[in-house]
């Protein structure tokens, strides 16, 4: 129960703050995923392999992202989260623009590492702010709206990136998407208010300032958290591994290129992601009001439904059918993030939420962003020796099979959740 006992309305200004945070996340993913739509042009210009592209768009970025994320989140649980988000947007936007100045692979790799450092300060503070703006009964929906910024960013990035790349080249595309973020960061800093920390909890819970060791000790006791983190990581393994190579797959196996490729990916990839993310949060809050396990059953069911659609999506040659299947798979595999974040925040006190998000994203990005694209790219290089351009589709199929283990992880998380909620209540009563 929140401290007022009856008031479950969002805080005044919550809608504006959520909108601005969502736009910030949109810039985050425009700047992160712009590389994906540009990678065929970069590959041709710099003579790169698919494994190098996977390292560039995945593992190297994820390594610095997850390393910087935990100390920044610990800072956010004690400092002004609004200021941290504004600083993060400024850094990643500036480094994205600088990516367009890279003259070789090493310089581009270093610029993308800089983007990763900036983006590490974006989501965990934002998640914690949203959980203080919105009550538990509405958090999954609010966090899903925020998380839809991923797919809005993909939508915008694919259209803008594909068009600018075709007209002016990949270097100009980096600059066009990077520079506006610096302007936005200024507006964010001047207009968004820092919410009261722990608004929906008791005064004792709100005042609690745990150490890093205490937070890790609390999370270690929640099996459901680690299972849902593994489920999120395996879902992201497919989302990043196959998602980062979807433009290349459609170009190589279906002959779709340029602005047409960008438009299709924006509408059916980005649009499907937006629908799936919002749907996951809505359904979790709708059914989870009577049984919190629905927050984990929904992504498990969605992942199970995605498996039989993924095989024909990757193996068929009928392009319209493939695009339709891609749309369906994208909706299903993007239902998990809002519910996973909402349950993670429900398990811990307010001053642990940014760090909890960061640890969740540590696992998610290490498995998903770190290993997904690298695995897909490595397998593609191997399979392409036998199957040519179709080697990529078989690599993506293997990635999808591996990622299906996420369904089991979400099921196990749901099975352990009631016990962990009891432990949470016992800890809060002390």
pLDDT digits (tens, 9 = 90+) for 64-88: 777 788 888 888 888 899 999 999 9
The confidence score (pLDDT) of residue 116 equals 84
Q: Dihedral of CA 59/405/276/350: which sign? A: negative
The confidence score (pLDDT) of residue 1 equals 39
> What is the total count of domains within the chain?
1
Structural domain contains residue 374: yes
Structural domain contains residue 5: no
Higher pLDDT, 412 or 44: 412
Least confident span in 53-62, 128-137, 295-304: 53-62
Structural domain contains residue 70: yes
Structural domain contains residue 8: no
Which residues form the domain of 317?
14-429
The confidence score (pLDDT) of residue 212 equals 78
Structural domain contains residue 375: yes
Is residue 52's pLDDT more than 90? no
Structural domain contains residue 7: no
Percent of the chain beyond pLDDT 70?
Answer: 93
pLDDT in tens, 375-385: 998 899 999 99
Is residue 189's pLDDT more than 70? yes
Confidence of residue 112 (pLDDT cuts 50, 70, 90): confident
Structural domain contains residue 165: yes
Structural domain contains residue 289: yes
CATH number assigned to the domain comprising residue 365: 1.20.1250.20
């Amino acid at each position: 129960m929140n401290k007022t006992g009856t008031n479950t309305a969002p805080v005044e200004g919550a809608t504006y703050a959520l909108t601005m945070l969502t736009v910030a996340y949109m810039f985050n993913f425009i700047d992160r995923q712009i590389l994906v739509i540009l990678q065929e042009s970069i590959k041709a210009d710099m003579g790169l392999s698919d494994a190098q592209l996977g390292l560039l768009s995945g593992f190297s970025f994820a390594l610095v992202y997850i390393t910087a994320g935990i100390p920044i989140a610990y800072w956010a649980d004690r400092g002004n989260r609004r200021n941290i988000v504004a600083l993060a947007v400024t850094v990643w936007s500036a480094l994205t623009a600088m990516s367009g100045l890279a003259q070789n692979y090493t310089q581009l790799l270093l610029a993308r590492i800089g983007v990763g450092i900036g983006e590490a300060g974006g989501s965990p503070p934002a998640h914690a702010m949203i959980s203080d703006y919105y009550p538990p009964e509405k958090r999954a929906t609010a966090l899903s709206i925020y998380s839809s910024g991923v797919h809005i960013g993909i939508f915008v990035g694919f259209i803008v990136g594909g068009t600018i790349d075709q007209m002016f080249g990949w270097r100009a595309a980096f600059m066009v998407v990077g520079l506006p973020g610096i302007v936005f960061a200024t507006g964010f800093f001047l207009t968004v208010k820092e919410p009261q920390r722990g608004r929906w909890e008791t005064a004792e819970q709100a005042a609690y300032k745990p150490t890093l060791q205490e937070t890790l000790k609390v999370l270690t006791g929640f099996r459901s958290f680690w299972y849902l983190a593994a489920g999120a990581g395996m879902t992201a393994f497919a989302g990043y591994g196959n998602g980062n190579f979807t433009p290349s797959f459609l170009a190589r196996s279906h002959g779709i290129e340029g602005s047409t490729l960008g438009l299709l990916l924006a509408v059916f990839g980005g649009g499907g992601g937006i629908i799936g993310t919002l749907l996951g949060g809505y359904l979790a809050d709708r059914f989870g009001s009577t049984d919190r396990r629905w927050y984990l059953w929904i992504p498990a069911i969605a992942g199970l439904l995605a498996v039989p659609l993924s095989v024909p999506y990757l193996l068929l040659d009928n392009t319209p059918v493939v695009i339709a299947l891609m749309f369906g798979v994208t909706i299903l595999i993007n239902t998990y993030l809002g519910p996973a974040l909402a349950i993670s925040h429900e398990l811990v006190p307010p001053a642990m939420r940014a760090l909890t998000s960061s640890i969740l994203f540590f696992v998610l990005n290490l498995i998903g962003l770190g290993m997904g694209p690298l695995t897909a790219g490595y397998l593609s290089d191997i399979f392409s020796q036998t199957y040519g351009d179709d080697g990529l589709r078989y690599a993506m199929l293997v990635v999808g099979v591996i990622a299906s283990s996420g369904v089991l992880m979400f099921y196990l998380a749901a099975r352990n959740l009631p016990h962990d909620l009891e432990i949470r209540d016992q800890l809060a009563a002390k």
